[in-house]
Structure 1
């Protein structure tokens, strides 16, 4: 279990966890290369594990994610703001998130690059970017020295009560602008507290250049309790890509970007891509649906209206009244119990016509993944169905590779029943998604638009932000 818990805290996003190498040139968008967590090139490579073990890791990551998000709704910190609550889950309890190499601070007169580099997990549900700093007590294990904030020439403290402090005065850390993070249901809880400072962040380019952003809000984690990491731990903190509910704290706003996009691949041998900024996504295949706020402010919500299996509508109208989230932190899609039951029946009915029947408790082999709906896989069978999510104004058609996990002689449906509907990362593969906050009708409660289109996510990233 120690290996699994540590892996859950280290590997990153969408059925393909990822290491990001930033590539920024002058005023251009930030282009990032995403490395699959199970790739030997990943710093979190788990070694030679079986396909079933990989699937079980995905499932445990998803269970942990949903557990965190809905305990978080019951116990809010930071005066009800959820963007910081979500940070702890990313570091401690979830996997399959982007990991970015980010330069922090300024340390002349050393030759060449004068920033210090840290791997930060990217969280699309968090405004706050933070790193563990020197003088922390207690600290979570970190392979490199904690960030020496006082020695950085670009470090600027923010006094408690200063009008530029983006958090309430009750969250002050000693005499400085501060933040607090707590995971709601664990006893004792995993938690972080610290000061918010202003610093310079620098992204290394794949082509040898760099781009720096000055005077950004950065959290210094000084009190970090009950983190469990397998040594050596390489994660130093969080890079927040959420929009939150404030204007000046989100990273996107601070660096002047109005959108971000990603294209995810479930292959362990080819890099995926992420872009912060870039041009508006257009093209004949591009579809658009509104981004909405929902019950959990840490998540992006969509108006999901129905689901189809191989073009057969399940007629689920009215089943998504609580909203449907799209979550890059959940590898597998969750569906409300009544929705999952209907979808399950739909898959069973589809395969019944081919005389393929699901395993029951008596016939189920012992070496199957921890998924509810699994079938024997007949030799030569290739008529697997698509699954379509019908959003307002746009249909996301998921191909079989994004629906099923295939073993040597079985296949399983990568869906789970849960307390909410969340479209997970595995079902987002082989599409480019763009979260565009310049779009959307604010009068209708829209915070932006999600644009997407099918794309070969393994293709070169040279024009990905174009």
Structure 2
């Protein structure tokens, strides 16, 4: 297995920049083109960095995501639903995160521009969409102006206690409908502010515009604990988490009932994300497993029943009682410690038949920070598959989605963490569709995750 092929696959999954590739007229789906962040065409091209630095980006991004989602993340319970035409958005990648370029507000004094452009972090684990606003104190660093809500012609305030306010009265911000949200702990990050109504605009690379008026938007006035650098370009959060029938989540406000993506595997290809009707998947190769409710209502849970390594079942059924999630915001797959321990043994036993033993703490090269790494014998190519057995569906991950390899090492791209989560790298070479029109609600199903093998791209 060529190292650079694996590495390009690895980095593209984590760091893909999404740039719009769709017309805006009629009920067509959102169609987003994914571009490798380390391509010179990416707005976040970092220049030349070493192979080890690229691999470490995976690990750092996974740790950051674990901290944000599974360390007492809290959101209030909000309650709605609708159906409208499809929208478009320019999406890019910065730091460890997917971000969408969204126009916010109405400023006629800016010719040819309907809203001020902001990069909002796409978070499939959050239902709330918010941006940092002018007058914030304290604020996190932002390269551009904080959103000047008072100068927007489409800004509408919502008084505290108003029946239209989608958040609890105890979250009021001064005299206005408000929100409070926390990510992580020790000390974690948090934002509080007002819920307002605003216009969101999604530009295309063709120059078209699709606007949605009178949407709920969080206006952040007090932010604590964020570790963004001074050159930070992220202005807030675009929440794509599950919303049920609540009115506040973005997908409900714009009336979308499905979205899909296919993560690319090379900086030389384009791949796409769809939101809307075009995200529907049918065909003989399509498998389906229920999307379930879990302890965090914003996340997408799956019934993961077992894991296989090269078709050998590990018989882990009793270890998944806490639930399993899927999240493209996680670079690497994270396994609960009990599950990770069994999977680790499975890989050690597999490589032992080829007389390959894992590095210990003394022999492992110092620049390898992944937990499970092996020496790489010259000419070795007997890498195993890893299969996630879901209820009614099997996700077979090929070796390029499991291993990072170099001249002297083979590393398994998995992490131990508090909740089992299928990450982006292990979703490679498949198209996934989250369809909320499917599923048996009487069994706690909120929809269905459908997937099928796909090359995920065409030449740029």
- Give me the TM-score of the superposition, normalised by structure 2: 0.88
Q: 1:52-80: per-residue Cα shift (whole Å, max 9, x none)? A: 1121221122122223333216xx45379
Shift of the 160–257 alpha-carbon distance from structure 1 to 2, 3 Å rule, reads same
* 1:130 CA drift (Å): 1.0
Q: What's the counterpart of residue 456 of structure 2?
A: 457
Q: Does residue 50 of structure 2 align to residue 50 of structure 1? A: yes
Query: Matched residues in 2 for 1:311 and 1:228: separation?
Result: 42
| Deviation, structure 1 residue 460 | 7.0
After superposition, residues 124-163 of structure 1 pair within 5 angstroms as 124-163=124-163
1:282 corresponding residue in structure 2: 282
- How much has 1:114 moved relative to structure 2? 2.4
1:148 to partner: Cα distance? 1.5
Within a 5 Å distance, the mapping from 1:140-289 to structure 2 comes to 140-187=140-187, 189-279=188-278, 280-289=280-289
Corresponding residue number in structure 2 for 1:25: 24
Residues in 2 aligned to 1:320 and 1:431: alpha-carbon distance in whole angstroms: 24
SS of the aligned residue for 1:318 comes to helix
Q: Equivalent residue for 1:117? A: 117
1:451 shift after superposition:
0.4
Name the stretch that deviates more: 101-110 or 37-46.
37-46
1:339-354 superposed matches below 5 A: 339-354=339-354
For residues 309-342 of structure 1, the C-alpha deviation after alignment (integer angstroms, 9 at most, x for no partner) is: 1112122222211111112222111212222222
Whole-angstrom CA distance in 1 between matches of 2:123 and 2:43: 19
Measure, in 2, the Cα distance between the counterparts of 1:207 and 1:266.
25
Separation (CA, whole Å) in 2 of partners of 1:441 and 1:222: 40
Matches within 5 A, 1:73-92: 76=74, 78=76
Q: Please name the residue that 2:7 is paired with.
A: none
Any residues of structure 2 matched to 1:373-412 within 5 Å, and which?
373-412=372-411
Distance 1:300-1:200 versus aligned 2 partners, 3 A rule = same
Matching residue of 1:91: none
Contact 2:67/2:184 (<8 A) preserved: no
Residue 326 of structure 2 is matched in structure 1 by 326
Which runs of 5 or more structure 1 residues have no equivalent in the other structure? 1-11, 82-93, 462-466
**In 1, distance between residues paired with 2:78 and 2:70?**
14
Contact 2:127 2:242 in 1 (8 A): yes
CA contact (8 A) 1:287 1:452 kept: yes
State the 1:392 CA deviation: 0.4
Match of 1:89 in 2: none
What TM-score do the two structures reach when normalised by structure 1? 0.87
CA contact 2:19–2:34 (8 Å) conserved in 1: yes
Aligned CA distance change for structure 1 residues 290 and 376 (closer, same or farther; 3 Å): same
Unaligned segments of structure 2, at least 5 residues:
1-10, 80-93
Separation (CA, whole Å) in 1 of partners of 2:70 and 2:413: 21
Does the CA-based 8 Å contact 1:58-1:331 persist in structure 2? yes
The SS at the match of 1:212 is strand
Equivalent-residue separation in structure 2 for 1:29 and 1:351 (angstroms): 45
1-structure distance, mates of 2:208, 2:65: 36
**Residues 186 and 337 of structure 1: CA distance in aligned 2, closer, same or farther (over 3 Å):** closer
Count of aligned positions: 434
Residues 253-262 or 374-383, more deviating: 374-383
Change (3 A) 1:419 1:227: closer
Distance (Å, rounded) in 1 between the aligned partners of 2:120 and 2:23: 17
